[in-house]
Amino acid sequence: MRFASNPSDDINRRTDISPNRKKPPAVKAKMPGRAKTAAAGRAVSDREDRSEKIRRFVAVLMDEFSLPGSLRGVLPRRFEAFAEELMDGNPDHHPRPGQILFEAASTGSPCGIRTQNIHHVPIKLTMYTPEDARMANRTDLLQSRIRRLTREAHAQGALLTQKELSTLLGVGLRTLHRHIKSLQRQGQSVPTRGCKSDMEHDVLP
């Protein structure tokens, strides 16, 4: 025996609007400028973190060197201004295309001291220039890069070891040493860190 169906059930089935049917999840509209706001928030957080590190560093300086209390408020502002100029305000501190940031021993670092006691300075090195691509001779290209890297480092108050040069240029120490000797015979200046302690590892006979 068949019973007549409820008309409202038929309507719900045909139109698929049953009260028990799950609604599709709502799609959240992307908020304009949301990514920009998040980036700005990260920048503020980074700046606050940097300021806190500077304050802690100044506190250590004050305690270690018994500095006068009047400097407690001055030094953080000076360090903050310097960090702002170094990281944000002066584009000269940022590497250009084809350049890398590197740390090398300062020209004033004495020989015969432990590696961890050597004063390193940040420098920029030009690893590639458009002129490099126009050099067909591999020897000319390598010697040009040797001259460029060593002179750039020296101009920024640093000296590269031959071991560092070989790593940067992707050549063996013997090959590098042979080309440096060739440049020197031509009267070219190739300033490298040639302390005896370095030569034991970097300069080959």
To the nearest whole percent, how much of the chain has pLDDT over 70? 66
Q: Under a CB-based contact definition with an 8 Å cutoff, are residues 124 and 101 in contact?
A: yes
Is the same domain home to 105 and 198? yes
**10 Å Cβ neighbour count for 121?**
17
Is the same domain home to 104 and 197? yes
pLDDT higher than 80, residue 11: no
Is the same domain home to 142 and 179? yes
Is the same domain home to 51 and 137? no
Spatial distance between the Cα atoms of 38 and 44, rounded to a whole number of angstroms: 10
Question: What is the tens place of the pLDDT at every residue in 54-63?
Answer: 788 888 878 8
**Residue 147 covered by a domain:** yes
Range of the domain at 177: 99-202
- Two structure tokens written together for 155: 């101009």
Place of tokens 């960090």: 83
Is the same domain home to 89 and 142? no
**Which of 93, 118, 151 is the last residue in one of the domains?**
93
Is the same domain home to 80 and 112? no
pLDDT higher than 80, residue 73: no
Q: Under a CB-based contact definition with an 8 Å cutoff, are residues 100 and 125 in contact?
A: yes
Is the same domain home to 147 and 178? yes
Nearest to 104 by CA among 174, 156, 147: 156
Q: Under a CB-based contact definition with an 8 Å cutoff, are residues 163 and 121 in contact?
A: no
**Residue 73 covered by a domain:** yes
Is the same domain home to 87 and 153? no
- Two structure tokens written together for 204: 């080959």
**Residue 117 covered by a domain:** yes
The pLDDT mean for the chain works out to 75
Model confidence at 93, in pLDDT bands (50, 70, 90)? Answer: low
Is the same domain home to 142 and 168? yes
pLDDT of 202: 40
Question: What is the tens place of the pLDDT at every residue in 96-137?
Answer: 888 898 989 898 888 777 777 888 888 999 999 999 999 989
- Collapse the DSSP code of 56 into the 3-class scheme (helix H, G, I; strand E, B; otherwise coil) and give the result: helix
Angle at 58 between CA 57 and CA 60, to 5 degrees: 65
